[in-house]
Amino acid sequence: MTNINKIGVFTSGGDAPGMNACVRAVVRTGIYLGKQMVGIHQGYQGMIDKKFTEMDARSVRNTIQLGGTILKTARCAEFRTYEGRKKAYENLVAEGIDALVPIGGDGTFTGAEALSREFDIPVICVPGTIDNDLYGSDFTLGYDTATNTVIEAIDKIRDTAASHDRLFFVEVMGRDSGCIALHAGVAAGAEAILLPEKETAIDDLIIKLEEGALSKKSSSIVIIAEGDKNGGAYNVAKRVKEKFNFYDIKVTILGHLQRGGTPSSFDRVLGSRMGYAAVNALVQGQTRKMVGLIGNEMKLTRLEDALHNHSFKLEDDLLEMAKVLSI
């Protein structure tokens, strides 16, 4: 591995609050260590299209508080091919970039691992995804903000539900991970939480709702992760309505609302710590690894391990507690 002089940073996949804090930390840490820094716009697509911008310490001023990503993001089918990755690598060489800090989820990591392995370019990845579903970090960048956004929305829905004796089904993001649904459901006092990892029969849900109605509950909130096996909030609501008509039933899909907004203090600090750690790891000769927060310490995990291990295991105590506290 040659000495690193110029580091490229980019964001890829779905945006997540805190990505800008991380970009800021990567750029300023690199400059502090005497490296040249380059922002790559629109992820792997920008790598292929030569969308490179030299960055200095002032390039990232007033960005730590911004949601989204100042470097933009895009999907890139061409990069999934060897020919596309070769073209991207040749553009990096022409630009003088000899190391990368990719910020994103498992798709971003898959591309980075392949590029590094095929062309021997050092990469240290940062887990930026609201799903909190990557092995090697207790928290991924953006998860805390997204969960707080969901809780705030549920709190407001609860006001309307209670005013009208309504049953609301609220669908949140989480195709493969129920992390947002579980934690937001507990924090917002949901009557039931449906998760991809734990199949819930509609009849069991109806029994739960009936018990609430008999105990004079004036409203109920059911949180559903989008990957729940029952087919999403609209399908669940339809099936419940066929057998249970105690409440006026409404559905809310929070969708991409969960991705945006000002990052929380936690995500700003986490993004800063991860960006700082990623650059230092590159300078110290590390590659094909992911930085992550484990027990409040920054640790490195091999990309291969991060990609092939399932990270999030539903906390049994939270599941049981949610059931007990929803009576």
Looking at the annotation, which residues are catalytic? Answer: 131
DSSP H stretches of helix in 120-194: 143-164, 179-187
| Residue carrying structure tokens 């729940």 | 228
What spatial distance separates the first Cα and last Cα of the chain, rounded to whole Å?
60
Whether 139 contacts 260, CB under 8 Å? no
Query: What DSSP assignment string belongs to 15-73?
Result: --TTHHHHHHHHHHHHHHTT-EEEEETTHHHHHHTT-EEEE-GGGGTT-TT--S-TT--
Q: Which of 214, 267, 280 is nearest to 244 (CA)?
A: 214
Helix, strand, coil percent content, the chain, rounded in steps of 5: 45, 20, 35
